[in-house]
Structure 1
Amino acid sequence: MKNNLGSISLLVAFGGLVFFEVLLRMDILTHQGWKIVTAGFEAATIGGFADWFAVSALFHEIPIPFVRKHTNIIAKNREKLTEGIVDLVTNKWLSPDVIAEKLNEVDLAKIILDFIQQPKNQQNAISLIQNIVLKLVDELDNPRFADALQKILKDQVSSIDLASPLGAWLQKSIKNGDHHQIWELIIEETGKSITNPETKTLLLAKLKEAAEEYSEKGFFKKTALFLAEKSGGIDLNLIADDLLLKAKELMSDAKTDANHPIRSKFDDWMLGFAQQLTSGDEKSINLIENLKERVMQHVEEEKVIHTLLISSKETLTAQLQNNETPLMQFLISNLNRMLVDLREDPAAQQKINIYIRETVSELLVKFHSEIGNMVRSSMMKLNNKELVEQIEDKVGNDLQYIRLNGAVVGGIVGVILALLKLL
């Protein structure tokens, strides 16, 4: 009904004009008042027709001589229309000042917090974080990343002064007795190595090598060694067992006695070495520097960094597979704690608001022309017919009131003019 309102009003006006004009000419209606009514319908018809033409000329071409070129206005002026809409949108409706003003009225931090704290959205955020971290983890075993990380580590280690801190730490540990547990661990492992069959095999080989070297020093020594071995005076296997047993007893005594001479002597040496490090002794410092270089060389040759990254990738990938793993539980609990702390911290919320507003404002100024470009691009994609149909679909129904108003106002003016003629 609404989209036919203009046509109905024109039809009523024209029908009324014909009806009363016929009755007047047939002298069925003779009173002067009917002429006023007829004049009203006549003016209403003219007004309705004129507004029909005006509205229709916006969207369609009307094949009327002389006025045809003034119809189909939207299609013929689409470039001006497009630029006008672009200017209106970019400089009036969505200008940087307008958007910034609206942003200042909104508590963006609160909106973000409310959004994230909803269970569904929080799960989506966690899933997003998982996906991002998984993509990063997937690149951990990239050889180029390992090489870059190794270079960074090497540069950092090379520039670090380990001598002074190490010397200070050694002095403190020895004076406080903190190193005794390390000593006991070293002695225990040494004791285990002594009882290892491979140790005895190595010791026997060294004893045989020493015996051979001794026998080569002269005929008499070789003869004496030969007679001793044949008579049982020298049993290398027994000597090896005795040496290992004495070494094991020595390690056992050193482990239980913190003041054992071996431990005390080594502590004194370590304390002196620590003092040399802290005092800047060149020889001691060079020892540490050489140790650093050898460690980094070993790391590089054995591809330690790459191996660690591969292992880390496997571990992290497994930890990121679901929300029940220790790593994900740690991340989720910290995320919840951070959100609670942020909600209770108005100052932090204000900083977030300021940051978002300033960032958005900067982006708007920098890329504001893109808004107009998007509007322009969207309109240019439409051909004339599609453009006219879209505009007509949105405003065509409301324009019918123009036609209705034209008929009504025309009728009223016609009645007034007819009354004036009678005066």
Structure 2
Amino acid sequence: MTGTDVERAVALRRMKTLATGLLGVLALVFVVAFALQDSYPWLQYVRAAAEGGMVGALADWFAVTALFKHPMGLRIPHTAIIPRKKDQIGESLGQFVEENFLSEDVVVAKLESARIAQKAGMWLEKPESADRLAVEGAVLIRGLFTVLDDDAVQGVIEGLVRRHFLEPPWGPPIGSIAERIFAEGHHHSLVDLLVDRAADWVDGNYAVVTRVVAQRSPTWVPRLVDGVVGDRVHAELSKFIRAVQDDPRHDVRVSIDKYLRDLAQDLQHRPETIARAEEIKAQLLDDPRVRDLTARTWATIKTALLEAVNDPASELTTNFKALVRDFGSRLTSDTGLSDKVNRWIADGASYFVRTYRSEIAGVISETVGRWDAEETSRKIELQVGKDLQFIRINGTVVGSLAGLLIFSIAHAVFG
């Protein structure tokens, strides 16, 4: 028994003693009045009152006792009601809770009147609340990292990478994205950059160009001619690149655009190009590389989070606190947001009650069903037994008054 149960048991014994004591007092009064009523006729009224009080006290004692046990151990029909009807009581109680407390209308009405979002916002915007959430979050993260197995987490990450990144073919999605980029001309900046770099290289590598020309010319050509040809080649090459730079509609640029658009189409629809993209993917991300990538990703995430949560002044912790306070302020000041959050809460609670109300109510009936019959009777008696003793006391008083009234009327009518 808990401390509360002990206190209730003491109070119950006290009330039982009081109710039984009243019965004993009335019994003593009845005996005295009955013995002396011939000498003192007015004692007949006292006897009648005491007699009625005893009848009421005994009747209510029987009624109260019959709820929890067999009175005086006698197996009288319709006694020990709670031990015999324990399972039915549990089912009825569960059904009562389900129908009257786990009702969608009741739950939604209560949540709407509670204004949970506004109250949560007022709590969240306090600095000490944000600090507390940050501390509790840090404890949770450290606990998770303590429990989680690194190899298992890496396996999960690797599985996700393979399922969502490696297994789907790359060609069609890359081709679709590239087609949109090329159609909108976003690649022109990259082409400009490449052409500019090519022009800079030609301008800065005159010696390289002339040397390559000399190396490729026949051996019988005089060096003077090689120099003239090399100079000419460099000049024409520079002139060509300058023309590509200056003319947005240059044939080279048009050819590049066409090539890129065709490539985007081939990546989406041409089996040979799609297969080639898959070969490149396999070469770039083979099993050892994927395994190494997932291991380094998990190690980086774990290290970064642990360092952040262990440092109260870290950027992550500071930003988290600011985000919590800002969200709290928005919940308090933004009626639209708070109404939306309250609606989400109400809808979630409504779905939960609608879906699981029978299971929740079933916990009550199942719990009562597992209790021992005598234990159930004792638990219920501890809860309501003290108040039931007032029934015995009231029955004693009402019985006394009824007995006195009946005797008085009978004596007045029949003399």
TM-score when normalising by structure 1: 0.70
Q: What is the CA–CA distance in structure 2 between the aligned matches of 1:23 and 1:331, rounded to whole Å?
A: 84
Deviation at 1:38, TM superposition (A): 1.8
Gaps of at least 5 residues in structure 1 are: 195-202, 215-220, 225-233, 235-242
2:133 to 118, 122, 132: 122
| Pair 1:158-2:175 in alignment | yes
DSSP-derived class of the 1:68 partner: coil
Match of 1:274 among 223, 237, 253: 253
Q: 2-side partners of 1:370 and 1:158: how far apart?
A: 51
Deviations 1:367-404 (A, max 9, x none): 22112211111111201011111100100011000000
CA separation in 2, counterparts of 1:15 and 1:328?
74
Structure 2 SS opposite 1:142: helix
Q: Distance in 1 between matches of 2:285 and 2:37?
A: 115
1:299 CA displacement? 4.0
1:42 aligns with 2:24: no
Query: Take 1:284 and 1:421, find their aligned partners in 2: how far apart are those partners?
Result: 118
- Residues 1:20 and 1:152: Cα distance change in structure 2 (over 3 Å): same
Query: Quick one: which amino acid aligns to residue 159 of structure 2?
Result: R
Asked if residue 372 in structure 1 is aligned to residue 361 in structure 2, the reply is: yes
CA contact (8 A) 2:52 2:403 kept: yes
Q: Deviations over 1:72-102 (max 9, x none)?
A: 1111122322222122111123322222221
Name 1:312's counterpart in structure 2. 297
- 1:69 alignment partner, SS class: coil
1:62–1:71 contact (8 Å) kept in structure 2: yes
Structure 2: how far apart are the matches of 1:167 and 1:260? 29
Q: Residue 44 of structure 1: CA displacement?
A: 0.9
- Give the conservation status (yes or no) of the 8 Å contact 1:20–1:34: no
Tell me, yes or no, if structure 1 residue 103 matches structure 2 residue 82. no
Deviations 1:120-174 (A, max 9, x none): 5422564488579977994487332222213447142133334862893454567
The Cα of 1:260 is off from its aligned counterpart by: 4.4
Q: Percent identity, aligned pairs only?
A: 18
- Which structure 2 residues correspond to residues 27-176 of structure 1 after superposition, within 5 A? 27=36, 30-63=39-72, 68-117=76-125, 118-123=129-134, 126-127=137-138, 130=141, 138-139=153-154, 142-148=157-163, 149-152=165-168, 154=170, 155-162=172-179, 165=182, 168-169=185-186, 171=188
Aligned counterpart, 1:401: 390
Q: 2:6 maps to what in 1?
A: none
Report how far residue 339 of structure 1 moved: 3.6
Residue 347 of structure 1 and its aligned partner are, at CA, apart by 0.4
Aligned partner of residue 70 in structure 1, secondary structure: coil
- The 1:412–1:421 alpha-carbon spacing in structure 2 relative to 1, beyond 3 Å, is same
TM-superposed deviation, 1:68? 1.6
* Cα offset, 1:8, TM superposition: 2.7
User: Structure 2 vs 1, CA of residues 34 and 388 (structure 1 numbering), >3 Å: closer, same or farther?
Assistant: same
| Cα distance change, pair 284–33 in 1 and its aligned pair in 2 (3 A) | closer
CA-atom RMSD in angstroms:
4.5
Give 3-state SS (helix, strand or coil) of 1:71's partner.
Answer: coil
Q: Is 1:264–2:232 an aligned residue pair?
A: no
The structure-2 alpha-carbon separation of the partners of 1:88 and 1:185, relative to structure 1 and needing over 3 Å to count, comes to: farther
2:36 is the alignment partner of 1:21? no
How far apart are the structure 2 equivalents of 1:140 and 1:273? 48
Answer yes or no: is the 8 Å Cα contact 2:67–2:82 preserved in 1.
yes
Query: Structure 2: which amino acid aligns with 1:316?
Result: I
Report if the CA contact (8 A) 1:10-1:407 is conserved: no
Aligned length: 366
Residues 143-292 of structure 1 correspond to what in structure 2 (within 5 A)? 143-148=158-163, 149-152=165-168, 154=170, 155-162=172-179, 165=182, 168-169=185-186, 171=188, 182-183=197-198, 260-261=238-239, 263-264=241-242, 267=245, 271-278=250-257, 281=258, 285-286=261-262
Displacement of 1:264: 2.3
Shift of 1:69: 2.6
Instruction: Describe the shift of the 1:53–1:35 C-alpha distance in structure 2 as closer, same or farther (beyond 3 A).
Output: same
CA contact (8 A) 2:111 2:346 kept: yes
Q: Which of 106-115 and 85-94 deviates more?
A: 106-115
* Partner Cα distance (2:190, 2:102) in 1: 69
Aligned AA for 1:145?
Answer: L
Is contact 1:82-1:379 (8 Å) kept? yes
Q: Quote the Cα distance in structure 2 between the aligned partners of 1:92 and 1:354.
A: 22
Helix, strand or coil for the counterpart of 2:178? coil
Aligned residue type for 1:98: V
Residue by residue over 1:313-364, the C-alpha shift from the partner in whole angstroms, topping out at 9 and shown as x without a partner, is: 3332222112454455445444443443343311011111112212211221
